[in-house]
Amino acid sequence: MILTTVVGALTALGVLLLARPFLAAHHSGSRVGVRVRRVLVVLVASAAALAVSALLLQNTPPPASVASASPPVPGAQTPPSDPAAARAAASAAARAAVATAVRQVHRHPGRVAAHLSLARAYAAAGRPQLATVEYLAVVHLEPRDPEANTALALAAFRSGRFRTAVRMLDVALETRPGYPEALYTRGLVNAMGLNRPEAARRDLHAYLRAAPFGSHRTTVATVLALLTSRSRR
């Protein structure tokens, strides 16, 4: 700002110096004419000074803030993420979700949605047995619920009860045709449990059509490749 003021003043002084011959050449005129010319010269000098000052202010970058100019404080850097702390935070969040869902079940023991929320919370917290209990409660309240039947079918598949799993999945898909999770699970049961490659292909391709960006697409592609390699032998 000080530099801008000085440059503006010098510009005005320069205009006045350049105007001296003009004023001297007309000194012999009337006093009124000389005063008018002097006023015009001063106005021109002021205008020139203002114009130069405006240009300087427009092209001068704003000063850096004190915060950005100050050196970093030692030890103030954000510490790197701690995997153990992240796991602890995720575990705490899972426990909180379970506690919330448990309260909802206690308040509404006959509500299917409450038991489904608790089953999902148990599954996310890594407690599959308790999740299965809640899915059984859902099936007791609503025998044809597609999510509960699919989850219980997956548990049956893992325990080797393949035909029971298929029956549950058939119920789920009758209730909700095109349900991706049921298609995926029935495809696995048909491929790896009941040795029905054609039925497995149908279900797995139907899964890819229903959920082209689903979370199981990599597993589905692997199983389809295995089925194709088996058929070529």
Using one digit for the tens of pLDDT, what is the confidence trace for 7-21? 444 444 444 444 454
Distance CA 184, CA 232 (A): 23
User: In sequence order, what are the residues at sequence separation of 6 or more whose Cβ sits closer than 8 angstroms to the Cβ of residue 78?
Assistant: none
* pLDDT confidence band for 231 (50 / 70 / 90): confident
Distance CA 16, CA 169 (A): 97
Amino acid at 105: V
pLDDT of residue 73: 53
User: What is the separation of C-alpha 142 from the centre of its chain, rounded to a whole number of angstroms?
Assistant: 36
If phi over 0 gives left and psi between -120 and 50 gives alpha, with beta otherwise, what is residue 161? beta
Using one digit for the tens of pLDDT, what is the confidence trace for 41-100? 444 444 444 443 444 445 444 444 434 444 555 555 555 578 999 999 999 999 999 999
If phi over 0 gives left and psi between -120 and 50 gives alpha, with beta otherwise, what is residue 135? alpha
Stretch 186-196: mean pLDDT, rounded? 97
Whole-structure pTM value: 0.64
Supply the mean pLDDT for the chain.
78
**How many Cβ atoms sit within 10 Å of the Cβ of residue 210?**
16
In angstroms, what CA-CA distances link 55 with 12, 45, 50?
15, 16, 9
Q: Are 228 and 197 in contact, with CB atoms under 8 Å apart? A: no
**Running DSSP on this structure, what letter comes out for residue 63?**
P
SS3 at position 145:
coil
Reference 135, options 187, 125, 121; nearest CA is 121
Q: Is it the case that residue 201 has pLDDT exceeding 80?
A: yes
